[in-house]
Amino acid sequence: MTAFARREITGIWGNAAWELRSINHRYLETYIRLPEQLIFLEQAIRERIRLCLTRGKVECNLYFYVNPNVQSTLIINKTLAKQVIAAAKWVKIQSQEEGTIEPLEILRWPGVMSTTEQELDTISAELLLELDATCKDLISARETEGKALKKLIEKRLAGVSAESAKVRQQMPTVLVWQREKLLNKLQEAQVKLDSNRIEQELVILAQRIDIAEELDRIDTHVKETYHILNKPEAVGRRLDFIMQELHRESNTLAAKSVNTSVTASAD
């Protein structure tokens, strides 16, 4: 399911935000973007996402900003900070624009400011708890879309059932029409056949255009789809298979059709 969830968290260490996006996919694929100082959390994040999701292409982003006022627990990478400042000055010269370099912007540069290992453990625990909550929000968003899609699919299924019933009702008339059409062609061609031979040809024709089995299978697939839609677990793969079967039966129906009305229903 396509869904999006975002949660923000604030602590004495600073603030952070989780963003989760998911789109349809046959399997679970997770893409994670983390700030440099928290890259060690990647495996834990993958495991948590795997616990709550089974399918989908999921993009996970963590935005992390350290509070520069908390000096006691922060470590500044002075070498990197000097490089960032030098690069900023060079850009300023090249662009020939006036202005000052904001110290806070330098400190926010990835890797310039980090925390002690003990502080990172505390921050990590808070972040992972918030990730769990974000995953729940994502699931809720997917469920909302799923309910809307369920209603849409059920509406289409009702249409398929109506067309199937319509074709069943038309078939006796179609057979009579096809019989008369064949007899008229024989008369126009002045072909003389005994009544037994004509009946044999009519039986063969009726068998060739008989679509009762296809209609039965379509009705069965529709009932199975209703059943699948009411299951609590993920049903995407099963639905994919049933939709392929419905498409195959409708193609066979159209191929056997000798009547424009039946062909229109198959389409």
Contact 2, 23 (CB under 8 A): yes
- Same-domain pairing of 97 and 154: no
Determine the Cα–Cα distance for residues 104 and 68; give it in Å rounded to an integer.
7
pLDDT, the chain, mean:
82
- Same-domain pairing of 242 and 172: yes
Tens of pLDDT, residues 95-138? 766 666 677 677 666 766 665 555 778 889 999 999 999 999 99
- Same-domain pairing of 155 and 211: yes
Is the pLDDT at 43 greater than 80? The verdict is yes
> Residue 59: what pLDDT?
97
- Same-domain pairing of 155 and 261: yes
Determine the Cα–Cα distance for residues 201 and 196; give it in Å rounded to an integer.
9
> Residue 3: what pLDDT?
92
Amino acid at 73: T
Tell me how many domains the chain contains: 2
Tens of pLDDT, residues 182-217? 667 666 666 666 667 666 666 666 666 667 788 888
- Same-domain pairing of 165 and 259: yes
Confidence of residue 155 (pLDDT cuts 50, 70, 90): very high
> Residue 126: what pLDDT?
93
Confidence of residue 150 (pLDDT cuts 50, 70, 90): very high
Which range of 15-19, 255-259, 262-266 scores highest in mean pLDDT? It is 15-19
The candidate with the shortest Cα–Cα distance to 56, out of 123, 146, 177, is 146
For every residue of 146-179, DSSP letters joined together read: HHHHHHHHHHHHHHHHHHHHHHHHHHHHHHHHHH
How long is the chain?
A: 267
230 part of a folded domain: yes
> Residue 91: what pLDDT?
73
Confidence of residue 19 (pLDDT cuts 50, 70, 90): very high
Pick left, alpha or beta for residue 190 (phi over 0 → left; psi -120 to 50 → alpha; otherwise beta).
Answer: left
Give the DSSP letter of residue 267: -
> Residue 13: what pLDDT?
82
Q: Which domain holds residue 188?
A: 150-266
- Same-domain pairing of 175 and 251: yes
225 part of a folded domain: yes
Tens of pLDDT, residues 209-239? 667 788 888 999 999 999 999 988 878 888 8
Determine the Cα–Cα distance for residues 15 and 8; give it in Å rounded to an integer.
7
> Residue 234: what pLDDT?
77
Report pTM: 0.61
Contact 27, 145 (CB under 8 A): no
Determine the Cα–Cα distance for residues 21 and 60; give it in Å rounded to an integer.
7
Determine the Cα–Cα distance for residues 193 and 178; give it in Å rounded to an integer.
18
258 part of a folded domain: yes
138 part of a folded domain: no
- Same-domain pairing of 182 and 102: no
Query: CB neighbours (10 Å) of residue 119?
Result: 18
The candidate with the shortest Cα–Cα distance to 33, out of 48, 23, 47, 18, is 18
Average pLDDT over residues 72-81: 69
Pick left, alpha or beta for residue 223 (phi over 0 → left; psi -120 to 50 → alpha; otherwise beta).
Answer: alpha
CA distances 101 to 56, 97, 125, Å, are 42, 12, 34
Contact 225, 239 (CB under 8 A): yes
Contact 214, 252 (CB under 8 A): yes
Contact 122, 6 (CB under 8 A): no
- Same-domain pairing of 154 and 231: yes
